[in-house]
Amino acid sequence: MNTFLFQQPFAIEKLNAVRISLCCIVIVLLSFGPYDSFYVDTADWLYQPGWPFPWFPNLGIHFWTLKYLVIVLGICCIVNFQLWLIGPLFAISFLFFNFYITGFSTTYWVTNTHLNFFAFALCFEYPKNRVYSYGKASFILAFMITYIAVLYFQAGLSKVIAGGFNWFFDGERIWIETILLGTPFGKWLTQWPWIFIPMSLGTGVFELILPFGFFFLNTRKIVAGIAIMFHLLTFAIMGITFWFLWALFPAIFFYNPPLAKKMCFSLK
């Protein structure tokens, strides 16, 4: 346990890679994602702020200001500009951005909420004097790994609670969802319903068993690689990418600073 929490290999270097990756993901999401004039045109009648910031105002046209503020702060974090100040400002502004988005729906969460948690976790490794603590960096990295493992496990657990273990054995749920919402390739596969039985079983193994592999150094990369393949297959069949999670995996699980230095490429 002590090794997992406080002796993660290359913890400081990996957190630098995570910072750059996370900011790039947020910038791409906000620049090319579905954050357009909908949140301005419908704000007067659709926006309903809730917990934990019921006082948060209707931004209206100032939605654009918040959006571009997050982007600018993200760029500053990428170039390592005054991280002790810009890092927390980026985390806070992106938190309020995501919270504002939830005010247009009936939920308190968005699918990229993990980015908020990781952005705030990174703030604890932004010292003003640029003197980084290896133990603290390792603990932050361990938190991110644990978060990812729990995220997958709770996805599997929610399926068990909602549909029982049959969800993973009959293939019916994935088959029906693919018929309704799948890609052209996925819908083509639905003419063979039996194909979705091993898919469902594989989903159960991946979400309920493999997440524990994230906690062990010798299996971590294998599980992360399987997770990336899982998401790519899900995208090919059902059109669900969840890329803003697994795009962090190279930084968290695969980044090798010694190899990067040999290739004359390092992240600072």
Whether 169 and 205 have beta carbons less than 8 Å apart is answered as no
Can you tell me the distance from the alpha carbon of 122 to that of 14, in angstroms, rounded to the nearest whole number?
11
Whether 8 and 138 have beta carbons less than 8 Å apart is answered as yes
Domain span at residue 79?
2-163+209-262
Q: Domain tally for the chain?
A: 1
Q: Is residue 67 part of a domain?
A: yes
Q: Return the closest-CA partner of residue 201 out of 170, 230, 232, 176.
A: 170
In this prediction, residue 264 carries a pLDDT of 57
Q: Is residue 157 part of a domain?
A: yes
In this prediction, residue 131 carries a pLDDT of 67
SS3 82: coil
Q: Is residue 191 part of a domain?
A: no
Q: Is residue 55 part of a domain?
A: yes
Q: What is the pLDDT of residues 62-104, one digit of tens each?
A: 999 999 999 999 999 999 999 999 999 999 999 999 999 999 9
In this prediction, residue 132 carries a pLDDT of 75
Q: Is residue 192 part of a domain?
A: no
Name the pTM for this structure: 0.93
SS3 186: helix
Q: Is residue 193 part of a domain?
A: no
Helices and strands (DSSP H and E) totals, the chain: 15, 0
Q: Is residue 239 part of a domain?
A: yes
Q: Is residue 190 part of a domain?
A: no
The chain-wide mean pLDDT, for the chain, equals 93
In this prediction, residue 107 carries a pLDDT of 75
In this prediction, residue 263 carries a pLDDT of 63
